[in-house]
Every structure is written in C-alpha cells, then in structure tokens.
C-alpha cells in the first residue's frame, strides 16, 4: 500500500472513533431521519391524491398531522389521564397482591421487569402524594429533581429530533446529494439507488407497523371490555403504542392490565394474560406477515438480536429505534455488502 | 512502503494524537483566527479606499472599535446598570410569581420549600468550593480570551507571512491548492461574519424597538442579549428569548405571550429570511448541518465548542468541498 492509502485508512479509523464517541448524536440524527421519512411518505401520498406541488403538499400533510394529533389528544388524553391516575393509584395495591403471587412461582425474568417497573411508578406516586414525612422528603425530592431533569433533557432531545426531521423533510434531495457527494465517484450512482431502497423499506415498514399497532389496540380494547377489566382505553392505547417495540413492548404492556385485573380476582389476571398472548401471536403470525411488505420482513431471531445489540450500543433510544435501524441495515447489507462486495469476489478470485 | 513513508506516517499519527490532546488550545487558536478575520474585513476595506498601510489601518479600526464600544457603554451603561440592578431585585419576585402560577401543582410548591431547606450551612460548604471553582474558571476564561485577542491582533498585523508558514508546511505539489484553500476559507469566514453581524444588528434593533413598543422593562438589555446570541444559531436565540419572557411574566402573563410571539416572529424571520438572503452569495449551509455541528461540538468541547461551532463548520465545509469531494472523491473512478 502506498502512503496516501495508509493516510486514508488512518483517517477512516479516526472518523469512526469520532462517530463512536458521538454515538448519542448519531442515534438522534437517525431518529430524525426516520421521522423525516415518515413525513416524506405522507407528503408523497398527499401529492399522489391531490396532485399539488411539494411545498403545498408538505404544508397539507403537516397540518393534517397536527390536526390528527390534536384531535387524538383532545379525545383520548382527558379520560386517559384520569384512568392513568387511577391506574397509578391502584398499582401499589396490585403490586402488594402480585408480589405474594409472584413468590409462588413466576419465572425470574418477568419478575425482574415487573419489580423495576413497579418501583419506578411507586416512587413517582410517592413524590406526588406524600407531602409530610420527614424521612421521605429528601428521597422524593431527589427522585423528583431527577425525574424533572430527565423529562427536561428528554423534551430537548425530542425537540431537536422534530426540528431536524422538519428541516430534512423540507428538502430531502439536498441532503441525499450531500451524502452522495461524500463517496467515490464510481459509487455515487449505486449509493443513490441504495439510499432510495432504504427509504422505501423504511416507509413500507412504518405503514405496516401503523396498521398492526391499530389492530392490536382495537383487539386488546375489545378483549378487555369483553373481560370487564377497568381502564380499557388506557390499556388498549398502551398496548398499541408499545407494539412498536417488538418482544419487549408487548411484555411491558401486559403488566398494567394484569395488575388491574389482579385487583378483581386472580383468574381474571390469567384471562388477561391469555388474551394478550393470543393477540400477540395473532399480530406476529397473521397481521404482520400479511401487511408487511415482502422485503421488509425480519426474522424473529434477527429482531431480538438487533434489539439487544442496539440497546447495548445506544441505550433506551436504541431499543426504541432498533427495528428501523435493523430494516435499514438489512437493505444496506444486502445491497452493498452482499451484492456489491461479496458476489463479485468469487469472480475476481477465479480470473487471475 | 519505504522507511521514509513509515516514519512520516508515524509522525502524522503522533501529531494527530497531540492535536487531540491539545484541542482546547486549538480551539483558542481557531477563535483567534475567527477574530482576526473579523478584524481583517474592515482593515482590508479601509486599505482599499485610503492609502494607508496595514498597521495604520489596524490601529484606526481597533481605536474606532474601542471608542465606539466606550461611547456605547457610556451611553447605555447607566441605564443598563439600573436595569440590571432592577433585574437582580426582580429575580426573587419572579420566583415567587412562578410559584404562585404553579401553586396548583402541589409538588412544585413543596419543591420550593425543599429548595429553601437545602440552603443550610453544612450544605453550603461544597457550594463554596464550587464557587471558588467557578471563579477559577472565570479567571482562566479571561486569560484565554486575552490571549485570543492578542493572537488575533498579531495575526491581523501580518497575515501574509502566517499564510506562507501554513502553506510551507504542506508538500510541494499541494502548495498551490493550499494557498487557494486558505483564500477560500478566508472569503467564506469573512462573508459569514459580515452577514451574521448585519443580521445580529437587525435583530438587536428590532427586538429593542418591539420590546420598547410593548413597554417591557429591561428592553435594552434583552435586545442586546438577543442580538449577541444571534451569532449562535438555533440554540442562542431560543436561550435569549428566556430573558425578556421572564421579565414580561412579572408584569402579566398576557404581556409574556406577546413577547413570546414577537420573539418567535423575529427569530424565524431572521433564521429563514434574513440570514439566507445575506449569506446566499457567500456561504451555503444546510440548516441541519449547523444544528448537528453545534450538538457534536458541544458534546466534544463543551460551551466554547458550541459558540465556535458555526465558524468551524463554515471552514470545514469549504475544506471538505475542495479537498475531500473535488480532489479525492471526484477523481476516484
């Protein structure tokens, strides 16, 4: 190798190290890109239906999105908040009841998840309810401050992600061309194709997830109301929202309705568990395969592995974004690594 | 690869590691370069219209700046001092007002109680240590700032020889490109600084006028802070809005809303209309790139990194456009 090539290699290593130390920023950038992709998909649909120019379509879709979110908040949040408060108040009672049951024989992993969650909510509940009690004051203050700090930094991060997503959605081609300019000229045309593939995969994945989440929320709501469990809307909404995170999310979403049902009677909790298991399997074996695009399908083992790896690498945000990351990585690995690097390799070795 | 190449490579790696260790010094150096360019723009302009040599022009510019600053300070300082004093008196009232507004939330009022109970003596001792640390930090910051100004003056006095020094440190076949690169960086940085100065001035005047028209107290101080923080896009104006907002909240929540709307209009007008218009001929920055750069440099270098992020991005963009894209990637067939 020549001097220039060595220099390039070292520069690449330095850039990778820098990116590694900035991985928080990178994951937030990826979140913004995913959000921008969702916006662009909506804009594309609007343009197809209405047939107007891009800025107008962007405005229409943004206004529509804001309207939908506002209506959803106005319709769902007040009862949701009321129910959620009730849920929070009931959780300690349910926790007491459940712990005795748990000791009799639930497996260790669900015990761990449950314990952390219940502790978290308990602490928050204590911060809101207890005003007296000298010993609890310092602790609850600390947890309150910590919660406020977390909430603040989370809000700032969310604001950042939304702002960047909006900026990207305004002129997506400009950003794509900048990325394309940064690779060797023989590869630019191909990279543009790969990026377009990634965008397609992401938007079809998001469409699929939207449909399956809606289905899960509706199914869980119907099932819970049939079983006569309280707090139907809150639980159904939670089930739908947490469905975005596979494996972990559905497990988490089972805890709340089960603890509520546990207050009524143990057999009801078991019935809720059965309902959620049925809904979950329906979602993963019937709904998802039929709505997900053929090329976006991920093997279940791959999904779990991706979640584990990205959680270790990026923290909770990584868990939230594990699936979009896996979808993009799948496209990149298939197109770049397998199609462009590994497939021609065999021919090269045979020719000399 | 020969022994010569290997030694050169090793030297470059060591140099890179050394630069990483000394990144604070390099940041100060970069700040000095930015300041030097900011001074160089009026000096060059002055030299073009009058037959002065460079030191004379520099003396004229610096003395004009000092006199202008002095005049401005003399004109504004009494009012400003009064306003600042007013503000320090207002802070407890503001806290009380906020507490009243949030009185419905039980946890917040208890939070205030606990905050006051925090201020007992034994807990003040680490606070004293922190205060000393802050004072030490401020002193170090002042020294760094002085050093930066001195370096900038030296750089402006004789930019050609410094430029020759940098160019001489590159391989012979790269020197023509390096000269051109430095010129391009200088032009981009100068254009950016000139555009931002105009834009900050406009924001300062408009904010002052708007706040004065709304009869918000401390209008001048707020306007000045908002104008200065315009140099740190996206993050700066948002932070700057907090000051007039807090002051207006004291008067009435309705006024605070008006101030918020005024600042939102001004800030968005500045960010999306004025700055692109002023910078369109010289620097073409994508908005996300600026935001990402601020965040990344803030994570790497802290607050000074955030303050110097935009000039650094302007320079980096020119360098990567000229070297990475045109010299390496475009030719890689």
Q: How many CB atoms lie within 10 A of CB A245?
A: 18
Choose among A320, A342, A322, A339: nearest CA to A331: A339
Q: Which residues contact B204 (CB under 8 A, 6 or more apart)?
A: B223, B224, B226, B227, B228, B230
A131–B110: do the CB atoms touch at under 8 Å?
yes
Over residues B27-84, the pLDDT tens digits come to 899 999 999 999 888 888 888 888 888 888 888 888 998 998 888 778 777 777 777 7
B107–A128: do the CB atoms touch at under 8 Å?
yes
A3–B106: do the CB atoms touch at under 8 Å?
no
**Nearest-10 crossing angle of helices A108-129, A134-170:** 100
B286–A184: do the CB atoms touch at under 8 Å?
no
B117 inside domain:
no
Q: For residues A300 and A10, give the distance between their C-alpha atoms in angstroms, rounded to a whole number.
A: 38
B12 inside domain:
no
User: What Cα–Cα distance (Å) separates residue B101 from each residue in A20, B68, B239, B250?
Assistant: 44, 43, 22, 11
Q: For residues A263 and A94, give the distance between their C-alpha atoms in angstroms, rounded to a whole number.
A: 6
Q: For residues B155 and B147, give the distance between their C-alpha atoms in angstroms, rounded to a whole number.
A: 12
Q: How many folded domains does chain B comprise?
A: 1
Of B102 and A241, more confident: A241
Of B156 and A151, more confident: B156
B119 inside domain:
no
Q: For residues A265 and A257, give the distance between their C-alpha atoms in angstroms, rounded to a whole number.
A: 12
Q: ipTM of this predicted complex?
A: 0.72
Choose among B101, B113, B106, B110: nearest CA to B246: B101
Place of tokens 């030719």: B331
pLDDT, mean over chain B: 82
Over residues A119-140, the pLDDT tens digits come to 555 445 444 444 444 455 566 6
Choose among B274, B262, B205, B261: nearest CA to B233: B274
Q: How large is the average pLDDT for residues B91-100?
A: 73
Tell me which of A6, A8, A142 to substitute to probe the interface with B (most B C-beta atoms closer than 10 Å).
Answer: A6
Q: Tell me which residue range forms the domain holding B53.
A: 24-103+134-329
Over residues B27-38, the pLDDT tens digits come to 899 999 999 999
Q: For residues A322 and A328, give the distance between their C-alpha atoms in angstroms, rounded to a whole number.
A: 10
Taking one residue from A and the other from B, the number of pairs with CB-CB distance under 8 angstroms is: 79
B9 inside domain:
no
Q: For residues A319 and A203, give the distance between their C-alpha atoms in angstroms, rounded to a whole number.
A: 19
B64 inside domain:
yes
Q: For residues B314 and B303, give the distance between their C-alpha atoms in angstroms, rounded to a whole number.
A: 18
B244 inside domain:
yes
Give the pLDDT of residue A114. Answer: 52
A51: left (phi over 0), alpha (psi -120 to 50) or beta: left
Over residues A91-104, the pLDDT tens digits come to 777 777 767 766 66
Over residues B229-277, the pLDDT tens digits come to 888 877 788 888 888 887 787 777 888 888 888 888 888 888 778 877 7
Over residues A201-218, the pLDDT tens digits come to 888 888 888 888 888 889
Mind telling me how many Å the CA of A76 is from chain B's nearest CA?
Answer: 22
* DSSP conformation class of A231: -
B1 inside domain:
no
A208 at B interface, C-beta within 8 A: no
B288–A128: do the CB atoms touch at under 8 Å?
no
Over residues A6-19, the pLDDT tens digits come to 888 999 999 999 99
Q: HSE on the CB side for B105, CA within 13 Å? A: 10
B166 inside domain:
yes
| pLDDT bracket for residue A349 (50, 70, 90) | low
């Amino acid at each position: 190798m020549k001097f220039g090539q060595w220099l390039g290699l070292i520069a690449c290593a330095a850039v990778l190290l820098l990116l590694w130390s900035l991985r928080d920023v990178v994951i937030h950038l990826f979140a913004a890109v995913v959000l921008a992709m969702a916006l662009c998909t909506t804009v594309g649909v609007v343009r197809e239906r209405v047939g107007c120019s891009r800025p107008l379509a962007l405005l229409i879709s943004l206004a529509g999105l804001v309207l939908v979110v506002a209506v959803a908040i106005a319709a769902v949040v007040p009862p949701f908040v009321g129910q959620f408060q009730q849920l929070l108040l009931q959780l300690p009672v349910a926790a007491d009841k459940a712990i005795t049951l748990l000791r009799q024989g639930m497996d260790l992993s669900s015990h761990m998840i449950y314990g952390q969650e219940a502790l978290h909510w308990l602490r928050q509940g204590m911060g809101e309810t207890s005003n007296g009690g000298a010993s609890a004051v310092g602790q609850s203050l600390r947890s309150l401050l910590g919660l406020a700090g977390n909430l603040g930094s989370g809000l700032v991060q969310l604001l950042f992600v939304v702002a960047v997503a909006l900026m990207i959605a305004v002129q997506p081609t400009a950003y794509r061309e900048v990325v394309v300019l940064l690779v060797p000229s023989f590869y630019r045309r191909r990279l543009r194709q790969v990026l377009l593939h990634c965008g397609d995969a992401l938007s079809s994945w998001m469409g699929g997830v939207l449909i399956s989440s809606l289905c899960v929320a509706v199914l869980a709501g119907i099932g819970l109301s049939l079983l006569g469990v309280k707090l139907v809307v809150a639980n159904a909404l939670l089930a739908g929202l947490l469905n975005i995170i596979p494996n972990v999310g559905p497990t988490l979403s089972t805890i709340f309705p089960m603890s509520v049902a546990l207050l009524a009677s143990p057999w009801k909790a078991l019935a809720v568990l059965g309902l959620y298991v049925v809904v979950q399997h329906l979602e993963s074996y019937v709904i998802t395969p039929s709505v997900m695009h053929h090329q976006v399908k991920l093997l279940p083992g791959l999904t779990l592995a991706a979640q584990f790896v990205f959680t270790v690498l990026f923290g909770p945000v990584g868990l939230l974004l594990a699936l979009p990351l896996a979808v993009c990585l799948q496209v990149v690995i298939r197109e770049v690594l397998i199609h462009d690097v590994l497939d021609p390799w065999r021919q090269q070795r045979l020719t000399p | 690869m020969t022994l010569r190449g290997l030694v050169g490579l090793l030297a470059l790696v060591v140099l890179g590691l050394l630069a990483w260790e000394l990144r604070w010094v390099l940041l100060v150096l970069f700040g000095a370069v930015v300041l030097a360019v900011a001074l160089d723009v009026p000096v060059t302009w002055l030299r073009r219209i009058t037959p002065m040599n460079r030191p004379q022009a520099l003396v004229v510019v610096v003395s004009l700046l000092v006199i202008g600053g002095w005049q401005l300070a003399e004109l504004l300082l009494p009012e400003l001092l009064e306003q600042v004093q007013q503000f320090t008196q207002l802070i407890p009232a503001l806290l009380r007002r906020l507490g009243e507004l949030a009185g419905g939330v039980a946890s917040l009022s208890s939070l205030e109680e606990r905050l006051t109970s925090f201020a007992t003596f034994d807990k003040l001792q680490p606070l004293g240590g922190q205060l000393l640390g802050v004072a030490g930090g401020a002193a170090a910051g002042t020294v760094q700032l002085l050093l930066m100004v001195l370096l900038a003056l030296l750089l402006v006095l004789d930019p050609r020889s410094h430029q020759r020094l940098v160019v001489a440190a590159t391989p012979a076949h790269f020197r023509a490109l390096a000269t051109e690169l430095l010129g391009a960086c200088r032009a981009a940085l100068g254009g950016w600084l000139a555009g931002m100065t105009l834009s900050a001035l406009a924001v300062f005047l408009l904010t002052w006028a708007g706040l004065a028209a709304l009869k918000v107290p401390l209008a001048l101080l707020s306007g000045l802070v908002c104008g200065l923080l315009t140099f740190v896009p996206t993050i700066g104006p948002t932070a700057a809005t907090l000051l007039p907002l807090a002051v207006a909240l004291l008067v009435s929540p309705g006024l605070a809303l008006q101030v918020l709307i005024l600042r939102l209009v001004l800030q968005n007008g500045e960010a999306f209309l004025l700055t692109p218009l002023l910078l369109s001929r010289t620097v073409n920055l994508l908005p996300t790139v600026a935001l990402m750069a601020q965040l990344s440099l803030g994570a790497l270098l802290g607050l000074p990194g955030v303050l110097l992020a935009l000039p650094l991005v302007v320079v980096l963009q020119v360098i990567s456009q000229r070297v990475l894209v045109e010299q390496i990637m475009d030719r890689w067939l």
